[in-house]
Structures are given as structure tokens and as C-alpha cells.
Structure 1
Amino acid sequence: MGLERSCGGCCRTLYTILLMFIGVLVVLVLETILSKLPRPQDHLKTHKYNAKVTTAKIDIKPSRHPMVPPYPYPYEFIINQEDKCSGRNPFLVALVISRSQDVAARNAIRKTWGNASNYDSVDIVTVFLIGLSPIKSHEFQQMLEEESMTFRDIIQQNFLDTYLNLTLKTVMGMEWVSKFCTSASYVMKIDSDVFLNVEYLVHQILRPDLPVRHNYFLGQVYIGARPRRNKMDKWYVPLDVYPNETYPPYCDGSVYVFSVDMAKKIYGIAQVVSLMPFEDVSVGLCLKELHIVPIEYPGDAYRRSEQYNHCTFKARVGVHMEGKSDFKKIWQELWSNQSVPCES
């Protein structure tokens, strides 16, 4: 009996040791996997895409929360279009949020609303804002540089192109306008999956026949929105990132419009404001510091989602197109039937 108890005790001890070993092994494996996932700060690593890319030093404070975009930081333009606005006075500049791999979406825009040759009455400039791809980095970078040589409409800086870095991409657009396209009148930030009705925006809202506005910021405005505190929520924000109960007024990030003077002001104030991982809220924080109140779109000029209808789309600035909607077909139908009357 004593021998059996001794053997039983040895087995339990060995079993406990084995479980502890497996537990340590699982922790090590998880840490290894997590360490390889892209983080907002990963843009600080050296990227050897071409000779133009350099890595500057930055002092990341230990107190910075992992969700907070690393900013201010002297990001560099890897691909730039410095002369895009030279010798011209664009009425509208469209800053389109894109990713390296979204070639099909960019081509769809180039062939539809982003084609400047369609607009005789005003000058329209469209550029695509892109960061460094966290996947297939060298392959996508080479393709992107070739695409830039062909179309001359790619803007890129040396930060990782991740969801938490969308704020950096938007600030990059503000920086580009304030440095290379100050001759413009108005600027639009728009996501690549939004269908834009340029004619309605230009001639019914902005109106080239009127003096250019200043301190102007237009979009679908959210007032009194609250931070999501559920850790399982996609838009979760911990208290140490944003302690206030509500956000300041901000515009839906899918598409908003502003006067060109606002680009320099937002870019400037972004150097001192504590930015958020969500770019629309971050711009709202900048507007609050600038004492600028965003203006709501007139009527139903913007919709988050809507089935195509010729008459309703004629009175929209933009529609967020869910799924794989056929941009080309919709645009061609809308464009070819502009003069077709609709019931009031």
C-alpha cells in the first residue's frame, strides 16, 4: 500500500510538472505570434524598398498607449507628386484613402468620378493616400511604384498601412495639400468604396460662382457620440486613451469636404493634439481645438448605404457602396442620364 501511494504521488507530481511545461510552452508560442503582428509603432523599423526610404530616430515615450498613433513624427514622402498642382488652381482636390493592394478600386475611380477629363467647368485633382504594406511588402511596393509612374496620382509615407494608422494617412493628406497644393479651393477626404457625385457636390453645394469659403468643414456630423468601452468592440477605446464621456462633434470619415485653408490648420494643430486611432474622431478633436464647428450636409446628400436609383443618386454627394457594387456601371448610367428629369 505504501509503495502504491508513493507511485501515485510521483505520477501526480510528474503530471503537474508536465502541465506547467505545456503552459509555459503555450505562452511562449502566443508571445511569438503576437510579436509578429503589425502594431502602430512598427513603421519605426527599417524598410529597404528603395534608396529614397530612410529611417529617422524618434523617442517613443513609454507612457504612449499601443492604440495611440505615433504622432507627431517626421514621416517622409516615399512616393510624392510635388508638381501635381503646379501651374493650376484646382477647384477640388480628392484625397482618396487606399491601400497598396487595392489596384482594382483605384482603377475604377480613375475610370469614373476620378477622371478629371470629364469635368470641363472646373479643375479636379484626385490622389490616393497609401502607407507601407504590412504584407508582401517588397512585392506590393514595387507594383505601387510602377503604378505611380503610370498614373502620377499616388502619395505615400513611411508608416505601416494598418487600421490603427488611418489617422496618420489622413494627416498625411492634410500635409500634402498644405505643402504642395495650396492653390486649390476645396479638399475632400473620401474612402475608396464611396461613390462620389462630383457634379452635385461642385455645382449644387460648393458652387464655383461663389467666393471660396474659409474655415469651412462639411460632412455628416455626429454630435454627442460616446466612446465604446466594450473590449470586444471594433471601436473599443480605453479610458487612458480617451477619458471623456463624449467625443466633440466630428464628421463621418467616409467622405467630408473642407476649404483648403483648413488643411494647413488641421495639419498644424495635429502636431500638439493627442490623436486617436479613429481618424474621423481625431479630425473632430483638431476642429475643437481650432474652434471650428463642422457643418451638416444639406438634406440627404450622403447615405451610408443605398441601392442605386438614378433620381436619388442625382441628389447625393456620396453613397457608401457595400459589397462589390459595379462603380463603372452606376457611374455611366448616372452620367449619361444627367439631363433626364426626375419628379420633384
Structure 2
Amino acid sequence: MCHIKKGFILLLTLTFLLSAIIYFSDFSLKIAVPPRTLYTNVVNQIRSYYMVIKFPSGHDNQTIFLAPAPTPKAHQQVQQRSIQISKQTTDISVHYHVAHPSNYHFILDEPEICSQWDPFLVLMVPVAPHQVGARNAIRSTWGNESTVQGKAVMTLFLVGLTGGSDSEKAQQQLEEESRQHRDLLQSNFVDSYFNLTIKTMVIMDWLATRCPQANFSMKVDSDMYLNLENLMTLLLAPNTPRQNYITGMVMWDRPVVRNKNSKWYVSEELYPEPKYPTYLLGMGYVFSNDLPEKIVEASKEIKAFNIEDAYVGACVKHVGITPSSPPDPSQFRAYLGQYNREDFLRVITTIIGSPQQLIYIWKDVKRPTKRDQI
């Protein structure tokens, strides 16, 4: 009987030990791999309160640094830290979860230029800080036209913060360029592909606060040919609205890219709808100058995502405005293919291959012909 009791007690002890081992093993696994709901909540909290600094590598981005999302007061310190990190790489991108332009301020500015020029049309060119060649090519071609069909035209360039090991030298060069040409604006966001939405919203803010007297504005990329005669003919046409008007190459029913390997990837968290609202392709779109203030106000309500032209489309939709198709849609072209002078005489804007090509095309388009001399 005594042996039976001892055996029973031993069996209970072994059962208890085995249960304890299973329990703690299961517990440790749960800690290592949290439930999906808990994981999702944690990630969402991080995304809500932090900005993510990433170093691109091929098609993928490897997160290496988290910092508190910048407030207006703390923004300068965050940018200083971003610049320090950028010295370790030549390609840094910073994702801000609030793209409203009030989070940023101008380092280089021309706040009085519109009161001096009183422009009918303002051309705003977002460009990378190091792309001096692109800026100079524009300055010697379509950006050099200050009067078109009797209307004043003004061209300005917008850049963000420089990055890389020679950022101090690059900043000094930008400041010298600004003193020389008086056409350079710089805001304190990190200049990168992923921050194009910020860049565009800063442009809208500048137009709303520094240049409300202009009739029209155009956001036009630095790799574009622009035929200002044709653009001005469009803007001066009697049926062209002077308010709530935006036109260019219209994009309808464009699906949101969910492929994480694409540079156009947008998560469902940032934009849940499967298709974008109607928008204008970002290479060049023109709008009545009452819209910038309305777009900036709408951006307070619309969560920012990294496809800047689609984001502007979302803001325009929020305001209750539908983008207009131009009278001749073929005048806003992505590519014209092999160079033909007649094609460039007909378009308003199209993408070109290099600053040198822009200069060559411009000279050829502007050269006098026998027909012009008759």
C-alpha cells in the first residue's frame, strides 16, 4: 500500500512538472509572437506618433530609425538629426505622417516678389537641390519669358534640405544661387522622392500666402518642355474659368498600387480606397490661383500619402471641385517620341530627356522660319 501511495505521488509530481513546462513554453512563444491584433495596435501606435527614416535599397526600404513625429516647435531639432544621419548615405527619405505645410518654414524666400511683379501666371518648379543644370536650362529657355501675350509670367524653383556628406557646401551654393537669381525658395523638409507631397503642399502654401494676387499658377516639373504661348492662349480664352479651375493631363479611375516592391506603393492605412479620385498627372498642371488656399485647408482633413498628384486630387475632391479636361488634351503629353519641331509647336507641355535637350529643342522651336518672315 505504501508503494502505491509513493507511486501515485510521483505520478502527480511528474504531471505537474510536465504541465509547467508546457505552460511556460507556450507563454514564451506568445511573447515572441504577439497576437495579430496586438501587433497591429502596436504598429499603428508607432505610426501615429513617430516618423520613420528609411534608407532605400533597391526596391525595398529598410527601416533604421524612429523619431517622434515633428511638431512645429520640435521640427528644427528633428531636421538637424536627420541631416546628421543623412551624412552616412547619399539617398535618405523621411516619411512624415503630417504633410500640412504649417509644420515647415522657409529658409530661402522671396516674400515680396509677387507685389513687385504682379504676375498673371506663376510657374512653380519643384526641383532637387543639386539639379543646378536643370534650373539653369529652364532659366535660359521657358523660365526666361517674363511677358507672354502682354501678361506677366514669373518662374520660381522650390527645393528642400540638402543631404549627403557635403550638405554644408551644397547649402552655401544654394544661398549664392538665390542671391544671384532671386528665384529660389527653400523649405526645411528633407528633399526626397517620398516627400514630394510635402513639397507640393509647401508650394500651395507659398502661393496662398505670398502670391494671392496672381490669376493662375502652374506646378511644372524640372524635366519639362513648356510652350508658354500655347498655355497663355488657353488661359486667356473666354471660356476658361478664373476660379475653381484645374487642368492638365487628366487621370481617371487609376488603381492604387498595393505592390510593396513598387515605388508607387501606398498602404491601405494611408489610402483605403482601391482607386484614386480624378487627378492631374504631376508633370504639369495649371490652376486658378484661388485653389492653393483651398487645397491647403483641405489637407488638414485629408491624410497625407506619398503620391503627390493623387493627393492633390483628393484635396480638390474634398473641396468639391472636379478637374477639367483641357480643350485639346493632346497639348498635355507625357512623351512625344522622336523630335519633330511641329509637335513642339503644338503642345503646352511634355517630358524631355535632359537639360541639354531642352536647350536644343527651345532654340530650334524659337528659330525664325521662312513662314515667320512672310
Q: TM-score category by the smaller chain?
A: 0.7 to 0.9
Assess, with a 3 A threshold, how the Cα gap between structure 1 residues 246 and 142 changes in structure 2: closer, same or farther. same
Task: Give 1:142's aligned residue.
Answer: 172
Is the contact made by 2:149 and 2:232 (CA closer than 8 Å) also made in structure 1? no
Deviation at 1:37, TM superposition (A): 11
Is the contact made by 2:98 and 2:303 (CA closer than 8 Å) also made in structure 1? no
Task: Give 2:125's aligned residue.
Answer: 96
Assess, with a 3 A threshold, how the Cα gap between structure 1 residues 245 and 120 changes in structure 2: closer, same or farther. closer
Task: Give 1:188's aligned residue.
Answer: 218
Deviations 1:21-72 (A, max 9, x none): xxxxxxxxx9xx8537999979762439xxxxxxxxxxxxxxxxx8554323
Is the contact made by 2:223 and 2:355 (CA closer than 8 Å) also made in structure 1? no
Q: Give the one of 169, 189, 199 matched to 1:159.
A: 189
Q: Which amino acid aligns with 2:290?
A: D
Instruction: Number of aligned residue pairs: give it.
Output: 292
Task: Give 1:112's aligned residue.
Answer: 141
Is the contact made by 1:75 and 1:159 (CA closer than 8 Å) also made in structure 2? yes
Deviation at 1:118, TM superposition (A): 6.0
Assess, with a 3 A threshold, how the Cα gap between structure 1 residues 248 and 209 changes in structure 2: closer, same or farther. closer
Secondary structure of 2:169's aligned partner = helix
Assess, with a 3 A threshold, how the Cα gap between structure 1 residues 302 and 339 changes in structure 2: closer, same or farther. farther
Assess, with a 3 A threshold, how the Cα gap between structure 1 residues 155 and 233 changes in structure 2: closer, same or farther. same
Distance in 2, matches of 1:103 and 1:280, equals: 24
Deviations 1:58-88 (A, max 9, x none): xxxxxxxx85543234211110001111144
Higher radius of gyration, 1 or 2:
2
Deviations 1:83-139 (A, max 9, x none): 111144311100001111000100000000000346462101100011001223212
Assess, with a 3 A threshold, how the Cα gap between structure 1 residues 277 and 299 changes in structure 2: closer, same or farther. closer
Is the contact made by 1:185 and 1:212 (CA closer than 8 Å) also made in structure 2? no
Assess, with a 3 A threshold, how the Cα gap between structure 1 residues 236 and 340 changes in structure 2: closer, same or farther. farther
Distance in 2, matches of 1:186 and 1:288, equals: 19
Distance in 1, matches of 2:340 and 2:96, equals: 41
Task: Give 2:342's aligned residue.
Answer: 311
Percent identity over paired residues:
35
Distance in 2, matches of 1:38 and 1:160, equals: 14
Distance in 1, matches of 2:358 and 2:343, equals: 16
Q: Give the one of 344, 347, 359 matched to 1:328.
A: 359
Q: Which amino acid aligns with 1:47?
A: Q
Secondary structure of 1:295's aligned partner = coil
Unaligned runs of 5+ in 2: 1-56, 82-93
Assess, with a 3 A threshold, how the Cα gap between structure 1 residues 322 and 39 changes in structure 2: closer, same or farther. farther
Is the contact made by 1:67 and 1:241 (CA closer than 8 Å) also made in structure 2? no
1:70 equivalenced with 2:98 (yes/no): yes
Relative contact order, higher structure (CA 8 A, sep 6+): 1
Assess, with a 3 A threshold, how the Cα gap between structure 1 residues 318 and 337 changes in structure 2: closer, same or farther. farther
Distance in 1, matches of 2:111 and 2:127, equals: 19
RMSD: 2.7
Deviation at 1:272, TM superposition (A): 2.2
The within-5 A match list for 1:146-295 is: 146-203=176-233, 205-207=234-236, 213-295=242-324
Distance in 2, matches of 1:40 and 1:165, equals: 14
Secondary structure of 1:281's aligned partner = helix
Is the contact made by 1:79 and 1:145 (CA closer than 8 Å) also made in structure 2? yes
Distance in 2, matches of 1:304 and 1:331, equals: 17
Task: Give 1:18's aligned residue.
Answer: none
Q: Which has the higher helix share?
A: 2
Is the contact made by 2:95 and 2:195 (CA closer than 8 Å) also made in structure 1? no
Assess, with a 3 A threshold, how the Cα gap between structure 1 residues 94 and 279 changes in structure 2: closer, same or farther. same
Distance in 2, matches of 1:107 and 1:230, equals: 37
Q: TM-score, normalised by structure 2?
A: 0.72
Assess, with a 3 A threshold, how the Cα gap between structure 1 residues 301 and 247 changes in structure 2: closer, same or farther. same
Unaligned runs of 5+ in 1: 1-29, 49-65
Secondary structure of 1:114's aligned partner = helix
Q: TM-score, normalised by structure 1?
A: 0.78
Distance in 1, matches of 2:190 and 2:118, equals: 32
Assess, with a 3 A threshold, how the Cα gap between structure 1 residues 47 and 314 changes in structure 2: closer, same or farther. same
